[in-house]
């Protein structure tokens, strides 16, 4: 009888656990973050927080994301990038702080836009007069298609880094260097 009671309790607990995992309204484009460090245990130099939409067999570049038009850079809220010290962002000086990041993707180059307006949903309230800098960076093709929009940092031999934003078969990159 004790085994039967234990089995019944486990089954009820199991059903409750399964139901608890059905989160209504969970975002299909989850938020993620990428942190730039010069070494594994080094202090963070920068962090980008962004949402990751999925390709889901859709045509991305030139269709879902038009070329040569302002893009929110992912899904949901505009990504926010924080620099923990002053940097040279694609050749232009930027003070330490947090900025919204937008891009204008092109076939051969992307325009990266840092904007001082934070907590923006997409680019619907985008205000060009709040731009801090606009810089160009090269576009490239991915060797393997990327299913979920992704951001990563690629440390360079000269101590700088490239912020790489990629999705499907393409990516854009912008060089960043600290002023120290």
Q: Could you report the per-residue pLDDT of 15-27, keeping only the tens digit for each? A: 444 454 566 777 7
* pLDDT(124) > 70: yes
pTM for the whole structure: 0.84
Residue 178 has pLDDT above 80, yes or no: yes
DSSP SS3 for 16: helix
> Domain coordinates of the chain in residue numbers?
29-178
Instruction: Kindly compute the dihedral angle of the four CA atoms of residues 92, 149, 71, 66, in this order, to the nearest 10 degrees.
Output: 120
76-118 tens-digit pLDDT:
999 999 999 999 999 999 999 999 999 999 999 999 999 999 9
Give kind and range of the element (H or E) at residue 166: strand 161-178
Please give the mean pLDDT across all residues of the chain. Answer: 89
* pLDDT classification of 44: cutoffs 50, 70, 90: very high
Query: Across residues 151-175, what is the average pLDDT?
Result: 95
- Joined together, the tokens standing for residue 174 give 């912008």
Q: For residue 5, is pLDDT > 80?
A: no
Question: How far apart, in whole angstroms, are the C-alpha atoms of residue 99 and residue 135?
Answer: 14
DSSP string across 77-146 = BPPEEEESS-EEETTEEE-SEEEEEEEEE-SSEEEEEEES--S-BTTTT--GGGEEEEEEEEEEEEEEEE
Q: In DSSP terms, which residues pair with 114 in a beta bridge?
A: 101, 133
DSSP 30-58: -EEEEEE-SSTTSPPSEEEEEE--B-TT-
By the 8 A CB rule, do 85 and 93 touch? no
């Amino acid at each position: 009888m004790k085994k039967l009671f234990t089995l019944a309790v486990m089954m009820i607990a199991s059903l409750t656990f399964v139901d608890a995992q059905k989160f209504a309204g969970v975002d299909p484009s989850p938020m993620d973050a990428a942190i730039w460090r010069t070494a594994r245990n080094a202090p963070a130099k920068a962090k980008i927080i962004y949402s990751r939409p999925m390709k889901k067999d859709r045509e991305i570049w030139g269709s879902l994301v038009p070329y040569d038009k302002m893009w929110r850079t992912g899904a949901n809220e505009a990504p926010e990038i924080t620099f923990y010290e002053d940097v040279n962002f694609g050749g232009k000086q930027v003070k330490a702080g947090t900025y919204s990041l937008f891009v204008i993707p092109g076939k051969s180059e992307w325009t990266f836009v840092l904007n001082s307006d934070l907590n923006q949903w997409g680019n619907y309230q985008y205000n060009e007069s709040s731009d801090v800098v606009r810089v160009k960076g090269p576009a490239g093709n991915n060797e393997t298609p990327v299913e979920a929009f992704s951001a990563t940092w690629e440390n360079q031999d000269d101590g700088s880094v490239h912020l790489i934003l990629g999705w499907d078969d393409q990516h854009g990159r912008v060089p960043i260097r600290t002023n120290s």
